[in-house]
Structure 1
Amino acid sequence: MTFPLWLALVGSGFVISLTPGAGAIFAMSNAIAHGWRRSIWGILGQQVALLVHILVVAAGVGALVAGSPVLFAVIRYVGAAYLIYLGVRQILAKPVEPASDDLEMLAPPQSAWTMFRRGVLVNLTNPKAIVFFLAFVPQFIRPDLPLVEQYTVLVLTVFAIDIAVMWFVFAAAARAIARLTRSVKGQRVLSRVFGGLFIGVGVLLAAVH
């Protein structure tokens, strides 16, 4: 993986990890209920699920590379278009009326293993993740270079970014972010910001390889 492409991976990884989703909500709820330090166990569980998704996608992408480099290129550009589509959909998404403003719904104490296991399940049971990674992964893979090294760099980079964002952003600022996502105005702001970022990432990845 070239250095410019790796920088694009880092930038894209931060945008994607910063976009609120099931994983971010899980990290925030753990931090609110069990404390910032202990929330790391759920975040580590999420990384195991991410690894499974990437391995599944890598197996399919590897078959495409071996069979048809042209088809691989088509998948890459379609993937970039899908990221742009996600951005447009994020901007147009209607905010959900908050059901409650109670941020102190503390759960009973959970063991590290319980939080880890639930973290795995939160990401593993999201079928959209496979589709997303099928769009995302090919943007950073060069079919003419050794695949193992490229996937190793990709996985380590994605893990480092996701852990940093989930723990030091969402979990650390759990209460403030939770309040923002529970207001209609806050949801609109987040949708527009992250939708625009997704569109920018899609355009960037279509141009840089």
Structure 2
Amino acid sequence: MWSTLPAFLGACLLVAVSPGPSSVLIIRNSLRSRRSGMFTVLGNETGVFVWGVFAALGLTALLDASEAAYDVMRLVGAVVLVGFGIQALRAARRAGDLPLAEGPGPAGSAGPAPEPAWRSYRSGLLLNLANPKAGLFAMAFLPQFVPAGAPHLPAMLALAAIWAVFEVGYYATYVWGVARLKSLFARPGARRRLERVSGGVLIALGVRLAVEG
């Protein structure tokens, strides 16, 4: 296991740096607050681990074998992405010209009320689990790094856990970086424009997932 770990971590890094819906959602929620961003990361990585468990048990093979099952998951994922995009556009409309800075709450605050931690966690988890590509990728990715002769199920579960923990650390740098740059966006109208951009990207990704074969 130790002999394959460096190559596995290098592959995890290449996977993490590839842009996708999760990256967009993590950045969007990190702009609301560091807490929201980190709970989104934790939810997303819970989804990564769950897909890894499914791959270890062979359940994700059903998505590969059944076109109908994959299409159902694909359409569900598209609906979830578009739903998150619409939420972002609605948030942009509600934001008006408020600055992006966090405030103490609705009563006379300068910024929006912080999003509950469970909602940020749920959004990250739901977005990841609703993407059938994540399941197929886990099925194709993890077995490559199972050492010859190693027990398949324990090795796959260990790799899934390492993958999730690694990405928690990686995406934590996103949350930290966004927090450091937040002052650049703390001018009137900035939050509205950022919500519009993230909403448009999420809707575009959802439409792409829906129409692709």
Alignment partner for residue 171 of structure 1, among 170, 179, 185?
A: 179
What's 1:27 paired with?
Answer: 34
Secondary structure, in 3 states, of the residue corresponding to 2:18? helix
**Percent of aligned pairs with the same amino acid:** 20
Distance change >3 Å, CA 147–CA 24, structure 1 → 2: same
Number of equivalences: 166
How do 1:187-202 residues align onto structure 2 when only pairs under 5 Å count?
Answer: 187-202=191-206
How do 1:9-48 residues align onto structure 2 when only pairs under 5 Å count?
Answer: 10-12=18-20, 13-19=22-28, 21=29, 23-27=30-34, 47=41
Distance change >3 Å, CA 192–CA 176, structure 1 → 2: same
What's 1:134 paired with?
Answer: 129
Matched residue type, 1:129: G
Matched residue type, 2:70: F
What's 2:4 paired with?
Answer: none
Deviations 1:2-29 (A, max 9, x none): xxxx88982214323221x2x5544289
Q: Provide the rounded CA distance (Å) in 2 between the counterparts of 1:90 and 1:205.
A: 19
Q: Provide the rounded CA distance (Å) in 2 between the counterparts of 1:95 and 1:129.
A: 22
Q: Provide the rounded CA distance (Å) in 1 between the counterparts of 2:125 and 2:164.
A: 15
CA RMSD of aligned residues (A): 4.4
Larger Rg: 2
What's 2:87 paired with?
Answer: 89
Distance change >3 Å, CA 171–CA 27, structure 1 → 2: same
What's 1:55 paired with?
Answer: 49
Distance change >3 Å, CA 189–CA 49, structure 1 → 2: closer
Matched residue type, 1:172: R
Secondary structure, in 3 states, of the residue corresponding to 2:205? helix
Q: CA deviation at 1:159?
A: 4.1
Distance change >3 Å, CA 202–CA 8, structure 1 → 2: farther
What 5-or-longer segments of structure 2 have no aligned partner? 1-13, 99-105, 145-158
Q: Provide the rounded CA distance (Å) in 1 between the counterparts of 2:197 and 2:79.
A: 18
1:148 equivalenced with 2:142 (yes/no):
yes
